[in-house]
Structure 1
Amino acid sequence: MKVLFKAKPKTTIAGLLTEFFGEAQSWRETNDNLEPLVELIRLIRPLKIKNIQTVDLQEAISFLKENYSCRKQLSIYLKEILKDKKFNKILSDAAILQDVDFIFEVKKRIFAKFLPYQPQKDTLEYVLNQVFYLANDGIWINKIPLNQLVELYDLLKFKSIYVSAEPNSVLSELFVAMHLITQRISGRAMETDVIKMVPEFDYIESPFSAFENELFLIKDRIRSSNTHYITSDDLSYAQLLVLHKQCEEFVEKAFDNISKYGISLRVNQNLLKIRQQLKRLKFLISLLVVDKEKDKKENGIVLASRLIKFNCYKNNVRKFIGESTQLISYEITQHTAKTGENYITEGRNEYFKMFRTALGGGFIVGILCIVKMLLSKAEASYFGHAFLYSMNYAIGFIAIYLLGFTLATKQPAMTASALIKALEDGVLKQGRDAEKYKAFAILFARVFRSQFIAFVGNVIMAFPVSLLGIWLIDYFLHYNIAATKWESLLVDLSPIHSLAIFHAAIAGIFLFLSGIITGSVANRDKHNQVYFRIAEHPFLKRNLGKTRTLKLAKVYEKRWAGIISNFWFGVFMGSTASIGLFLGLNLDIRHISFASGNLALGLYGANYTVSNSMLLWGIFGIGIIGLVNFIISFSLSMGLAFRSRAISLYELRFVTISIWNHFKSSPVSFFFPTEKKDKSVVVENYLHVEDSK
């Protein structure tokens, strides 16, 4: 059989350069003047960037050295498409937060991913959008050796960026960008909510204004000079760097003060934007400095590569979310860490105290199981049942919290942050790494056994209370409230006959979210000075008295975040099933404590006549549900705590190995306090230091 079509030969860089810039000079006849550059970059662009250490341009360099006419035409072409192209907006805006509204900025960037914003054709941004349109183009550009870029710079006879400071010149665009950024920083740094974060600067002249004035003088001097640059030993340049450092210290001090004053997402975004703008200014200032002749070329090359990088990263969503949420998540997990320390038992007294509080929590859970069963009999819509169930859970969880009882699965979200705080803490970083991880493993064992005894307390109390409750209703009202639902109650506990594991995972996510809400509300109230505003409220002081008003403020500060967290946890738990029914999805929650109560209701509803397999799967399912509740909420909280403290997830490997080794050497310590008084000094020190804070 004859081959009708021949495969098109692969285009080479030499072939492409010859086609467009050879004797035919076809680049002059293309409808789109950017097409030759787009095709050239497409050939140079590596397919797999991660696996490449360097991007070699030697093929193109060698060809241009041997072909004068192609080299000359390429030089003319590049200078023509770059001539008078404005780029100050890339320097002042690209890869910098544009809006302090977090949600709006995320939506804008996601939309731009699919339908990129296209600037005017007389700008460099338009050229870069068309040529370097992939998000990772900024990565491989940085992998081109500098000596090759310098060689290309010489071959194509590019002019120095310092030849002119006239309007539309490269230096002029730099000055415009620097002027825009300094103006924006000065205004943003003076906003009330930002200044409030740094009271230390109240009686000091704003470093931002001083920086702006010094930069203005340097720009004027460069414009009027013949060389159009300064040297690194210039006294004005040294002064400018000092002022820039003071501006950075202003921002860092604001972030350091988060633990004192809290922070809102809007203020966080403002500070992040100032930090990004200061970093951009530092880069732009460095381009004004020339000490050696070669610096002129290298600065021009660095500017070009950074323009490409900034333009590629301007719509990066992941980096934006990461930067925006890290500090907020740190403050949130900082609060949950402090709360979580209360859930880590040390000796036998604390261990059995946890057991007693867990019994109290199980008692209320048993009542909640009965109430929910009664509410299920009500004639109501999906929303009606969601509301009733949510209020039942919310009131019960708040009661557990206010009475000082323990709901076992509320612990992981708190204790995970305490563990990471311990790993990060300077006390734990004393000595060798092996000692640090061993101390962490001992602390983890305490966390695990605290969770275990809380599980036991909840489960063994919820079962008899639910059983007693349904028996009392049947005894006095002659009505078995579980007679028609006993089978579903028992089947829903089985990990093989139902989606119990999936539903337990959903509950674990809600437990994690409730921990986040606790820290978030505490952080918000701290930033808004709610405690101080209540304590100094003139109406309350006049009518309640100063002592009672202060007591009210202290109760609010200590309890309000937990009340809100438990309320929303109840709403999450109570509305999930109704939302699932509305959407036609099998959504529900399984919680170990409620599973124990439901087992009691199911057995009584069936008049205790259930098969052995159904009973065994129900009992086994309670354990599985509790394990999944713990693993999901604990893992999510650990991940957030790791990220918020910028600790590499690689450390998990050493942490896991250390925990496993400790379990093999002392498995009982994961379920019962066994340490003697001479236990790890590092762990002892950590706990005592935290207590003293």
Structure 2
Amino acid sequence: MEAILRDMTTTSSETRAFELLRDLIDAIRPRDVNDAQAAINGVQALTYLLEAHVEYRAALRAHLLHLLATRRQVSLYTDTGVFSNESFFSALVKRIGHRLLPPVFNPASLKDLFGAMFHRKNDYVWLEAIPREVWLDLGRSLHMGEETDQDSINQTRLQALEAAQVLSCRLSAIGVEPEIIQNHPDGDRFESPFVRQNVETLAYIEGYRQDMIEKRLPDEDVKPILVLLDQCEAFVSRVRKSAARNGVSVSLTYHLLRISQHIERLRTVLLLLDPASSPEKADLMIDAALTFVRAENRRYALRDVFAENTELLALQVTEHASHTGEHYIADTRAEWGAMFRSAAGAGFVVGFMALFKLLIGKAHLPMLLEALAFGLNYAFGFMLIHMLHCTVATKQPAMTAARIAGAIHQTTRQGKKSVQLDTLTELIVKVGRTQFVAILGNVVVAMPVALLIALAWKYGVGTPVIDADKADHLLHDLNPVASLALFHAAIAGVCLFLSGLISGYYDNKAIYNQIPQRIAALPWLNKLAGEARTFRIARYIENNLGALAGNFYFGMMLGVIGTIGVLLGLPIDIRHITFSSAYLSYSEVTYNFGLDWQVVLVSVAGIALIGLTNLLVSFSLALWVALRARRLSLVNARPLAGKLFRHFLSRPGDFFVPPQPVAEGEKQDAR
């Protein structure tokens, strides 16, 4: 490190400024980016050398100021860490393209030089681990007031003014986007703060430049612009609240994100330009530098684009799924019994769906037509189950996980941790017993219904629905050891999870695009069906579009995945607990109730494990997405494990059957 500083004292800043600064950063960088102490030691060693040697800090100042004065800085301030004027999908494609074929390095751009100095993809890790006090000590050790090159500083200020102008103009343009105005409760009632901040900023920049031309200290006041930026943030907050009620789109989320980024960056640039001295400036410079490093290190990261741009949309999708999940939670014994009856109705329909699936397989249709027929059988069957107000047990986890995440989100904003844990424990116990009775209703009805259908078919047609080879194949698929049953059950769990997201997405889409209102206003439908019936149709679509869409896509996924596996030569397929139980009944009739008890036992165990895998995979994925959408993690739910375990030891029956309601007199005695 000292050798590099010594080279700076003997080398002109016009020849090797970039190379020497890059070497200095390489010397400070720890071998292990997670070794915070090594990073701190490196910065402190540089601070000591600069304080101890006047010539070292003078040379480092000269190289830094020369690099700032001779390179284009505007793009570093306006583009680094800020999304450009393009759609979410365009940004995604652009990042993929840049990862495959990085853009050409431009030595005249400070942005490119900055990225080349911090060229390791995880440099931001060790830089952010260094305490603020250590960075402030390093800044003081430079003694920027000693023999400062005023021309270089003025050149930097001019480029910062240009960056402020670009940011302000972009902010005003995004703020008046039609989608932003339409989603603001009073969008057309008041003058836009985005336009007014642009007027104030341009006036500020012009006055600042004039002061610099006349070589006097700028005395422009930045406070009015900061007030307007606060108003812009309040505007964005109102749009987000409106979106929570009326739905959201990817493009609206992208606009809101870009507005927030531009407000934050413009505020930083203006505060750094403000001639009034402030102790906050040093902190702002540190924060800006760390932001630039992180952005440059992760400029090709696809995960960041997804995480930042879909956050609000994911929250809305899981919120809608959460509201749907409330219908899948039984509080009382009456609701528990109603859930059993609802699940039994679904089991009855599944018995016939399994029959149609087996008959389609016997038809030996062309592969793609067979996949389409399988998918439509599942899709229309699941949609019919929903329209009959019945319940498929495995559809519950994707909905109830969002409900649990919503409960965590609501209670963590309160201060009572014990109440939070108790409430969440009771909610999860309710979800568990509702899930248990739903599975029970599906299976105990699907199996006998399938058995009766198989017997009726055998005695009516003269032959079983399936032959012995097909029965052997179905029984083999139920064996959790000899087949890939659990892997295929996990794939079905992923499909269940996706169907939950699709349901929430279409519910959000119906609200955001005002689909029910537009249907109710269709002239030809009103003329054909009448206003009252049209209104009922619109209301039904408003309340059921998401569920119908989720069931349709879920069915199509179940139908085509096996064919996709055959076409690709991959061992992928699906296993669903309710259909698996029906297939066992069809196989039993084929063998005229002559299956070995060991085969039946293994098949029943396989059905149970398939159901458990269906539930665990779909629930885990749905809970993870719901927590991420609320900026939470599984750590927030970790204390629940102990509560649930103690509850199970003390009252295990609560996980299967709701407790008897406590009479009023018993409540008073308990008090």
Same fold, judged at TM 0.5 (above)? yes
SS in 2 for 1:485: helix
Identify the residue that residue 146 of structure 1 maps to in structure 2. 135
Whether 1:573 and 2:562 are equivalent positions in the alignment is no
Whether 1:364 and 2:349 are equivalent positions in the alignment is yes
**Equivalent residue for 1:218, pick from 191, 204, 209:** 204
Query: Structure 1 192/147 Cα, relative in aligned 2: closer, same or farther at 3 Å?
Result: closer
Whether 1:443 and 2:432 are equivalent positions in the alignment is no
Query: Structure 1 496/191 Cα, relative in aligned 2: closer, same or farther at 3 Å?
Result: same
SS in 1 for 2:634: coil
- Distance, in Å, in 1 between the alignment partners of 2:237 and 2:249 is 16
**Equivalent residue for 1:409, pick from 373, 391, 394:** 394
Whether 1:267 and 2:252 are equivalent positions in the alignment is yes
C-alpha offsets along residues 323-354 of structure 1, whole Å, 9 cap, x if unaligned? 21211111111111111111111111111111
Whether 1:94 and 2:80 are equivalent positions in the alignment is yes
Identify the residue that residue 160 of structure 2 maps to in structure 1. 174
- Distance, in Å, in 2 between the alignment partners of 1:622 and 1:411 is 18
C-alpha offsets along residues 527-577 of structure 1, whole Å, 9 cap, x if unaligned? 111111111223333343321221121111122221111110001111111
Whether 1:505 and 2:493 are equivalent positions in the alignment is no
**Cα offset, 1:228, TM superposition:** 4.7
Query: Structure 1 157/378 Cα, relative in aligned 2: closer, same or farther at 3 Å?
Result: farther
Whether 1:14 and 2:40 are equivalent positions in the alignment is no
Bigger shift: residues 497-506 or 414-423: 414-423
Aligned partners of 2:500 and 2:550 also within 8 Å:
yes
- Distance, in Å, in 2 between the alignment partners of 1:328 and 1:652 is 23
Show the 5 A alignment for 1:657-672.
657-672=642-657
**Cα offset, 1:99, TM superposition:** 4.8
Report percent identity of matched pairs. 31
**Cα offset, 1:357, TM superposition:** 1.1
Identify the residue that residue 52 of structure 1 maps to in structure 2. 36
**Equivalent residue for 1:433, pick from 417, 436, 455:** 417
Aligned partners of 1:90 and 1:311 also within 8 Å:
no
Query: Structure 1 603/298 Cα, relative in aligned 2: closer, same or farther at 3 Å?
Result: closer
Identify the residue that residue 237 of structure 2 maps to in structure 1. 252
Identify the residue that residue 124 of structure 1 maps to in structure 2. 110
Aligned partners of 1:394 and 1:568 also within 8 Å:
yes
Q: How many aligned positions are there?
A: 655
Query: Structure 1 178/565 Cα, relative in aligned 2: closer, same or farther at 3 Å?
Result: same
**Cα offset, 1:242, TM superposition:** 1.8
Aligned partners of 2:371 and 2:559 also within 8 Å:
yes
SS in 1 for 2:84: coil
Identify the residue that residue 627 of structure 1 maps to in structure 2. 612
**Cα offset, 1:298, TM superposition:** 7.1
Bigger shift: residues 240-249 or 374-383: 374-383
Aligned partners of 2:379 and 2:552 also within 8 Å:
yes
SS in 2 for 1:116: coil
TM-score, structure 2 as length reference: 0.91
Identify the residue that residue 443 of structure 2 maps to in structure 1. 459
Query: Structure 1 100/608 Cα, relative in aligned 2: closer, same or farther at 3 Å?
Result: farther
- Distance, in Å, in 2 between the alignment partners of 1:15 and 1:565 is 65
Show structure 2 runs of 5+ residues with no match. 665-671
Query: Structure 1 576/293 Cα, relative in aligned 2: closer, same or farther at 3 Å?
Result: closer
Bigger shift: residues 312-321 or 281-290: 312-321
**Cα offset, 1:55, TM superposition:** 2.4
Aligned partners of 2:34 and 2:125 also within 8 Å:
no
C-alpha offsets along residues 477-513 of structure 1, whole Å, 9 cap, x if unaligned? 2222322211111121121111111111111111111
Show structure 1 runs of 5+ residues with no match. 1-12, 680-693
**Cα offset, 1:16, TM superposition:** 3.9
Aligned partners of 1:346 and 1:673 also within 8 Å:
yes
Show the 5 A alignment for 1:187-586.
187-225=173-211, 226=215, 228-230=217-219, 236-292=221-277, 306-425=291-410, 432-483=416-467, 484-586=469-571
Aligned partners of 2:61 and 2:142 also within 8 Å:
no
More helix by share: 2
Aligned partners of 1:94 and 1:311 also within 8 Å:
yes
- Distance, in Å, in 2 between the alignment partners of 1:392 and 1:622 is 22
Query: Structure 1 520/392 Cα, relative in aligned 2: closer, same or farther at 3 Å?
Result: same
- Distance, in Å, in 2 between the alignment partners of 1:657 and 1:158 is 64
- Distance, in Å, in 2 between the alignment partners of 1:247 and 1:575 is 48
The letter of the residue matching 1:52 is A
Aligned partners of 2:69 and 2:156 also within 8 Å:
no
- Distance, in Å, in 2 between the alignment partners of 1:586 and 1:264 is 36
- Distance, in Å, in 2 between the alignment partners of 1:297 and 1:556 is 56
Identify the residue that residue 601 of structure 1 maps to in structure 2. 586
